Each structure stands twice: as structure tokens, then as C-alpha cells.
Structure 1
């Protein structure tokens, strides 16, 4: 029995040091090489931080591209989905209210053309990205409110679109915060 307990205790202590000390230090070291030095990628305008690129933010003014709805009102400390299924009556009322609101602010858009992501919250409630189609469906509203041509706004969306990772993995996306910052910088 002594032959088994001693190696087990040593192995436990070695793994405790590796997994509790060495591994976190290595991960923290690698994180410092990432954008933002491991503290998140901030978006700055004129030297002032206006938000984090990886956390969704609420944009409700008609002069801006709207973000994806959030089940947690964009509160990063309470990241979560709604936990309501697609047949839940409360959920269906919420989605219908979002559709109605979107249609009021975007006249000329057909209900069937609204991308689902503009009326449904993401699993985390903090998704910072939209598909290019979800951004482009809002262009007419923004063009009217800012007196900018639809062609120029479509070009802006194309400029802000990030392709799939390595050209293969995932969909093309548009970061709403970065898009709205670029929109404000248009002359």
C-alpha cells in the first residue's frame, strides 16, 4: 500500500503545481500577445475608449446601425440567453415586438426579408457582430437620416465586413461598433 500512496501524493502535488500555477501563467503570457494585451480589444475615437470590440452594445438611434438584440440588455456581467424556446408564447411576443419596431423604423422592408439575428438575441446576449445582410437591410434608413448615398453606405458595410477565419471557418461578419464608428467618421 505504501508503494501506491507515495507516488499518488507526489503526482497530485506535481499536477497541482502545473495546473494551478504553471498553466495559468502560460495562458496569461500568451494573452498578452493578443490585441489589447489580454484585456480585451478596445475601440477608441480621438484617444477615448468608446467600447469593446467583442461585446455587443446598444444602438437605437435611427442614424446608427442597430445591434443584435440582447436578452441581458448588453450587461457583460450577466451574459446569458433568454432560456425561452421558440414555441414559448412570451418569447414569440418579444420577437413579434422586435419585428414590429424594426418595421416602423425601416419602412419599405418586408417582414420576410428581416434577418433573424435582428429580432432574436444571441446565446450570450452580447454578440457584437451582424451578418452583412443584416447591416445592409438597415442602409436605407441610415441613408435617409444622414443624407448619405445608399451606395456609399453599402461600400462602408463592405469595407467593414470581415470574411470567414482562414477563408473557410464561419460566416462573414460586421462588427456593429466598428461600423458605427466608421459611419461617424464619414464626411
Structure 2
């Protein structure tokens, strides 16, 4: 066998073992030691049952829960991505109009009331787990009616929105936001009569 081929083959095997085996094992081991929760997907476990991840949005289509941001991929994490529709797209304009109509009707809002944009547009990943606090507050009336919350529970819900609101990253990147799954879990604690069974 040619000397050059032997050298190339040895280098190929060395880097395959080093970068394809040893390096991933070391990084995985360090991540498990230093950031175990994040390394395992930031999962949320309730009563020994995994119900989701802090990082991946879910579809909440019931009146008794806060709605998530729309998803162009139906919240499926495998083909994550946006719709790739541009602002001049007629299809996008129709989707936004339909979402606005549905959101206004579901939350019994007036037609000219401004709707937070993340309730009308899907995110680039299709899996954004957050909405603005304003988008949560605008849904409180619907949830109050659906769950028949009393005034104390409603006040607790506003407190939960305030407490769960995350500040912009490093205080200047992005906007204040709230994780919808965490908020809905807190909602179930406030009103135990309407806890999701699945």
C-alpha cells in the first residue's frame, strides 16, 4: 500500500476516534457534571412524570389554559423551523388575519384591540416556549370565565404572571417574556379543579 495512503488512513482513524468518540464523551460528561438539568433537556417533571421541556413550546388549545405562540410545524421538535413566508406573502397575510380573528373571538376582545405580534406570527423555530407578559394578561379574562375563578384566584394568577416573567437576557437582549408551560402549571396550582388529565 502506498505510504501516502497509509498516512492518510491513520490520520482518518485517529481523528474519527478523537473527534467522533472521545471528544463527545468528554463534553457530555462535563455537561452532566456541571449543568445536569440543561444537559438533559431542561425537562419539567411533575409527580414523577415528564410533562415537557422549558425550551420547547407546546400546543394548549383549551380555554382553561394560556395559549402558546403559533407554530408553523405544529410544535413538532424534529423538523423545527418557520414557515419561510415573507412579509409580502398573501398566504402569510391570510394566516395572520385568521389567527387574529380566532384570538379575538376566543378571548372575547374588541376587533380593534391591539394583539401582541407573537400571538399572530409563528417563531423562526416553531417551538418558542415564551410569550410576552402582555400576551398572557390579555388571555386572563377567557381563563377566568372558563375556570370560574374567584377574585382571590384571579389576583393569584396576576401575581403568577408577574413572578414568572423573565427579564431580558443580560438585562438588554430580547424582551421580558414568560414561559407558557410554567405559567399553565402555576395556573393548575391556583385552580386544582381543572387540572389537565393527560
User: If the TM-score is normalised by the length of the shorter chain, which range does it land in?
Assistant: 0.7 to 0.9
1:152 pairs with one of 151, 156, 180: 156
Change (3 A) 1:148 1:109: farther
Change (3 A) 1:114 1:35: farther
Measure, in 2, the Cα distance between the counterparts of 1:119 and 1:148. Answer: 30
* Match in the other structure for 2:116: 115
Please state if 1:137 is matched with 2:141: no
Task: Specify the SS of the correspondent of 1:76.
Answer: coil
The number of aligned residues is: 186
Task: Specify the SS of the correspondent of 1:58.
Answer: coil
TM-score in terms of structure 2 length? 0.80
Measure, in 2, the Cα distance between the counterparts of 1:104 and 1:26. Answer: 53
TM-score in terms of structure 1 length? 0.85
Stretches of structure 1 lacking an aligned partner (at least 5 in a row): none
* Match in the other structure for 1:186: 190
Alignment map for 1:29-40 (pairs within 5 Å): 29-32=29-32, 33-36=34-37, 38-40=39-41
Please state if 1:23 is matched with 2:27: no
Measure, in 2, the Cα distance between the counterparts of 1:159 and 1:134. Answer: 15
Greater displacement, 138-147 / 159-168: 159-168
Change (3 A) 1:48 1:16: closer
Greater displacement, 41-50 / 59-68: 41-50
* Match in the other structure for 1:72: 73
CA drift of 1:7 comes to 9.6
Measure, in 2, the Cα distance between the counterparts of 1:103 and 1:6. Answer: 69
CA drift of 1:137 comes to 1.3
Measure, in 2, the Cα distance between the counterparts of 1:109 and 1:102. Answer: 11
Spell out structure 1 runs of 4+ moving beyond 6 A. 5-14
Cα RMSD after superposing both structures? 2.6
